[in-house]
Amino acid sequence: MRRWVLALDHRFDAAFGAAANPLKQLGALAFLLLWLLALSGIVLYALLDTSAEGAYRSIEELSREPGSLGSALRGLHRYGSDAFVLVTLLHLLREWALGHHAGFRAWSWLTGVLLLPLAYASAIGGFWIHWDRLGQFSAIATAEWLDALPFLGAPLARNFLQGGVSDRLFSLFVFVHLGLPLLLVFACWAHVQRISRAAVFPRRGVAVGTTTLLLALALAVPVRGQGPADLGNAPQQLSFDWLLLFLHPLVDATSAEFAWALLAAVLAALLALPLVRARPAPPVAVVDPANCNGCGRCADDCPYAAITLVPHPRRRAGVQLAQVKTQLCASCGICAGACPSSTPFRKTQAFVTGIDMPQGPVVQLRERLQQGLAAGRRRVVFGCDHGARVDTLQAPSVLALSLPCVANLPPSFVEYALRQGASEVVVAGCREGGCEYRLGPQWMAQRLQGVREPHLRPSVPARWRTVWADAGEEARLREAMETPS
Amino acid sequence: MKNWRAWIGQAVLYGLFALFIGVFSHWPHYQALPAGQAVLKVSFIHHGQRVEPCRPYSAEELAKLPPNMRTPLKCERERVPVAIEVDLDGATVYRHVAQPSGLSRDGASTVYHRVAVPAGEHRITVRLRDGPGTAFGYTRDTTLRLKEAQVLVIDFDAQKGGITLT
């Protein structure tokens, strides 16, 4: 499954570039669509007559002229919500396919799953407040579906029998379409709480492209009302939004009880996924108080906000100490790569850094590097366990060292390797946007460019380079290795 | 050349995305009600009669009650289920016994049921029972013409004489 996702990513990379690939920023794209919906929704609400009698008329007057601003706005709101549903589902599928549903990601997964019904309920109310034939059908079908729940007293569908809908009930529709999206924004905030530097806006190219696309669609295929609601007559043939209203045909084809059971089963299965773990969680980062000076670089670089700074228990007031929240730690080791104490040039008797990974401490990395260089392996490749496999490069002259994430590598190791006799150093990480831990290649590139601490000193001989290649792209890595720098 | 291919690739992928949304936002049409059909909606909120009819308190019973709770009649809370049957041209299309709501079964019985029927002239007979026994206390028998897609609501309103068809 992961291989297919990467293959698709690479196809999209070819068209959009790795950084602007929309598949790698589906969550951010969903946020963009939410902002577009909020903006267009606020304008539409300002122009909407919020009475049952006037709603249809006001919306139709707004969007009567094809190509008008009102028509574009209405189309943008409708197609934006369709796109939101689609992008959200793709985001869910992608994260599942990549195995991002358990362990330290469980919170994001669970809140994400719960966002789905909330997003659906937020969206469906939009059809009701238009109060045309489609809105009439959807409101009644939803009421009938809710009536299948055993704990409701009087049937909700009785509100739609004859003589029109009361303004009071219509106010409830408005609340559903305004109140639930507000709740949705809050839930989205909760969804990204356990990741740092959450991308709530996609790259500019993707944002401009998507907005332009939706506007063009709104102008090319304007959204039209299907006649005012009339409770004395049942809607017959409807132009139908299958992306948002698929539930109604499902209930019609089966039963309300079946649809509830199916929904409950799907939600339960999705919510239970974090309990299924393919492999045990690796050990988490460990702080050594004696070597931690509380600089906060690890906390700044941690992609999952797993590190906080607390007062150092043994040093003077004001000095801080990193503290790892074990349930949030991804075991990526980016923190160890960010720690200034991880420099291999240290001459302390025991090389212990401020924060380190028990399964692969920096002292072990230095030893492997020293042993490899001593054995005559002069071309050093630092790689990533989740990217192109550097162990496939093994040759008498090549020393391949794979890390949990490329940013687990303290940049001073590049200088150290060159000073210890390496003829060349290659730092290989995943393609941009394809990092298993979100920010690894980004941080590593910045450290090597000298724009992020800890940085590689500018005086280091230019016998090093970077290769960004995903898992399965070993040939690309090999090709880069064979190309003279 | 590579740049052009990338631009074309982007255009194609954006186009496919727009096409997917544009198509499934409108098409295929959904036939919510088949042609030539009308809709009967049978719905009411109605309290059935009490299972035990109210009776006067005996003097002994009254004496046992606190003064503020001494009412003339003693009424048990539980209500009788309300039964309804709807016949269309002599054939029963809906039959249901609605249980009283509430833990003490003292609330209203509610019904909502939708059934599609062929448009045209029909003889509709509705029977409703809200008391003990098997006899239907309310019956409405009428012939009417249902237009295509018309919604006919069969309700119950004691103040309007019982079963109503609107």
- Can you give the pLDDT at residue A278? 65
Packed helices A412-419 and A362-374: angle between N→C axes, nearest 10 degrees: 20
pLDDT tens across A223-254, in order? 999 999 999 999 999 999 999 999 999 999 99
Contact A436, A386 (CB under 8 A): yes
A127 interfaces chain B, CB cutoff of 8 Å: no
Residue B71 lies in a domain: no
* Residue of chain B with shortest Cα separation from A78: B25
The model's pLDDT over A457-485, given as tens digits with 9 standing for 90+, comes to 999 999 999 999 999 999 989 998 888 76
The pLDDT score that the predictor gives to residue A485 is 64
Q: How many domains does chain A have?
A: 2
Domain edge (last residue) among A234, A259, A275: A275
* Residues B18 and B47 grouped into a single domain: no
How many domains are there within chain B?
Answer: 2
Does residue B64 form part of some domain? Answer: no
Chain B (34-93) residues lying within 8 Å, Cβ to Cβ, of chain A: 34-35, 38-39, 41, 43, 45
Nearest residue, CB atoms, A236 vs list B13, B14, B33: B33
Q: How many CB atoms lie within 10 A of CB A217?
A: 25
From A345, A462, A460, select the one nearest A410 (Cα to Cα). A345
User: Do B19 and B85 have their domain in common?
Assistant: no
pLDDT digits (tens, 9 = 90+) for A414-454: 999 999 999 999 999 999 999 999 999 999 999 999 999 99
Residue B72 lies in a domain: no
What torsion do the CA atoms of B65, B71, B72, B76 make, to the nearest 10 degrees? Answer: -80
Rounded Cα distance between B2 and B8, Å, is 10
How many residues are listed for chain B in this entry?
Answer: 166
- The first and second tokens of residue A57, run together, are 């008329």
Spatial distance between the Cα atoms of A30 and A188, rounded to a whole number of angstroms: 10
Q: Please name the residue ranges forming H helices in A192-295.
A: 204-220, 242-245, 247-253, 256-272
- pTM of the model as a whole: 0.91
A 245-284 near B (Cβ less than 8 A): 248-249, 252
Q: Is residue B119 part of a domain?
A: yes
* Domain contains B61: no
Length of chain A: 485
Q: What is the pLDDT along chain B (166 residues), one digit of tens a residue?
A: 468 889 999 999 999 999 999 999 999 999 999 999 999 999 999 999 999 989 999 999 999 999 999 998 999 999 999 999 999 999 999 999 999 999 999 999 999 999 999 999 999 999 999 999 999 999 999 999 999 999 999 999 989 989 999 9
| Cβ pair B18:A213 closer than 8 A | yes
Strand partners, B156: B163
Domain CATH number, residue A115: 1.20.810.10
On whether the CB atoms of residues A62 and A54 are closer than 8 A, the answer is no
Q: Does B3 reach chain A within 8 Å, measured CB to CB?
A: no
> Which H, E and C letters describe A448-479, residue by residue?
HHCCCCCCCCCCCCCCEEEEECECCCHHHHHH
A432 touching B (Cβ < 8 Å): no
Instruction: Please check whether residues A138 and A246 belong to one and the same domain.
Output: yes
Q: What is the pLDDT of residue A210?
A: 96
**Are residues B43 and B115 located together in one domain of the fold?**
yes
- Residue B15 identity: G
Assigned domain for B104 exists: yes
| Residues B46 and B24 grouped into a single domain | no
**Does residue B135 form part of some domain?**
yes
Tokens representing residue A4 in the block: 């297919």
Residue-wise pLDDT tens for chain A (485 aa)? Answer: 888 999 999 999 999 998 899 999 999 999 999 999 999 999 999 999 988 889 999 999 998 888 899 999 999 999 999 999 999 999 999 999 999 999 999 999 999 999 999 999 999 999 999 999 999 999 999 999 999 998 887 899 999 997 778 888 888 999 899 999 999 999 999 999 999 999 999 999 999 999 999 999 999 999 999 999 999 999 999 999 999 999 999 999 999 999 999 999 999 999 999 988 767 888 999 999 999 999 999 999 999 999 999 999 888 888 999 999 999 999 999 999 999 999 999 887 789 999 999 999 999 999 999 999 999 999 999 999 999 999 998 789 999 999 999 999 999 999 999 999 999 999 999 999 999 999 999 999 999 999 999 999 999 999 999 999 999 999 989 998 888 76
Range of the domain at B10: 1-30
Which phi and psi angles does B9 have, rounded to 5°?
Answer: -60, -45
CB A109 within 8 A of CB A102: yes
B65 is a domain residue:
no
CATH of residue B124's domain is: 2.60.40
Residue A135 is part of which domain span? 2-275
Task: Note the maximum CA span of chain B.
Answer: 105
A288 found inside a domain: no
d(CA A95, CA A77) in angstroms, rounded, equals 27
List, in sequence order, every residue forming a beta bridge with B140; answer none if it has no partner: B126
Domain edge (last residue) among A236, A255, A275? A275
